[in-house]
């Protein structure tokens, strides 16, 4: 429906105008849920603890996200939005591994690899993948003829890297107290003022 509103000749809305129509309905729905779930357990001290600048920055980021989502659906489709969500999840897991040194189980690694392969397949298609795979195979064979020792070293290094990733993911460093672990990671990254 959003795609039709944004791209059909009958309506032809831009993202800000469409957000002007969608936002009141979203506000009412979120307001009802917030009144029932969040407001009874909140106080003004919670706002002071989080900080008004943080709340304002969060609202600005949420507004930008809503505009970009509507813009993306208008230019492409809701399927592309879903696939972007999968890519976002993959990038979040990779960032969590690099920044916070969080372990990833082999099953998670395998699952995200399948998801990434599906994204590449959707983007390129079967024919283009066959063409690229054939070109890569020819280039790899040509490289092996020109530099056989370096090619063996690259293969050996790749195998070691995959083993390192798989064996490193078996060693879980997550303590039993999950909330304390999250608070420690958060305060070490953002400092005590943000926690």
Give tens-digit pLDDT for 24-70.
Answer: 988 999 999 999 998 889 888 888 888 899 999 999 999 998 888 88
d(CA 60, CA 29): 20
Q: Over the stretch 64-109, which tens digit does the pLDDT of each residue have?
A: 988 888 888 777 877 888 888 888 888 888 888 888 888 888 888 8
Q: Which two tokens stand for residue 141?
A: 């064979």
CB atoms inside a 10 Å sphere around CB 108: 12
The string of DSSP letters for the chain reads: -HHHHHHSTTT---HHHHHHHHHHHHHHHHHHHHHHHTGGG--HHHHHHH-HHHHHHHHHHHHHHHHHHHHHHHHS-HHHHHHHHHHHHHHHHHHHHHHH-----HHHHHHHHHHHHHHHHHHH-HHHHHHHHHHHHHHHHHHHHH-HHHHHHHHHHHHHHHHHHHHHHHS----S-HHHHHHHHHHHHH-TTT-
Polymer length in residues for the chain: 195
Residue 151 pLDDT exceeds 80: yes
Residue 167 pLDDT exceeds 70: yes
Q: Which residue has the higher pLDDT, 150 or 13?
A: 150
Share of the chain above pLDDT 70, in %: 82
d(CA 91, CA 108): 13
Q: What pLDDT does residue 46 have?
A: 87
Residue 176 pLDDT exceeds 90: no
Q: What pLDDT does residue 54 have?
A: 93
Q: Which two tokens stand for residue 93?
A: 């897991």
Compute the half-sphere exposure of residue 156: CA atoms within 13 Å on the CB side of its CA. 6
d(CA 138, CA 143): 9
Sign of CA dihedral 4, 8, 12, 14: positive
């Amino acid at each position: 429906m959003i795609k039709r509103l944004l791209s059909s000749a009958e309506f032809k809305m831009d993202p800000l105008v469409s957000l002007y129509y969608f936002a009141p309905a979203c506000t009412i729905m979120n307001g009802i849920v917030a009144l029932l779930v969040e407001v009874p357990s909140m106080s003004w001290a919670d706002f002071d603890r989080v900080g008004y600048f943080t709340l304002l920055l969060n609202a600005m980021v949420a507004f930008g996200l809503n505009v970009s989502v509507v813009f993306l659906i208008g230019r492409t489709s809701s399927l592309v939005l879903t696939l972007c969500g999968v890519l976002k999840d993959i990038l979040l897991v990779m960032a969590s591994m690099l920044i916070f040194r969080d372990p990833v189980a082999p099953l998670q690694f395998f699952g995200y690899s399948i998801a990434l392969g599906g994204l590449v397949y959707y983007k390129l298609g079967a024919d283009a993948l066959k063409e690229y795979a054939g070109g890569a195979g020819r280039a790899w064979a040509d490289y092996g003829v020109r530099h056989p020792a370096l090619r063996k070293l690259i293969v050996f290094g790749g195998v070691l890297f995959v083993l390192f990733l798989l064996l490193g993911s078996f060693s879980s460093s997550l303590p039993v107290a999950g909330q304390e672990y999250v608070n420690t990671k958060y305060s070490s990254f953002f400092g005590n003022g943000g926690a």
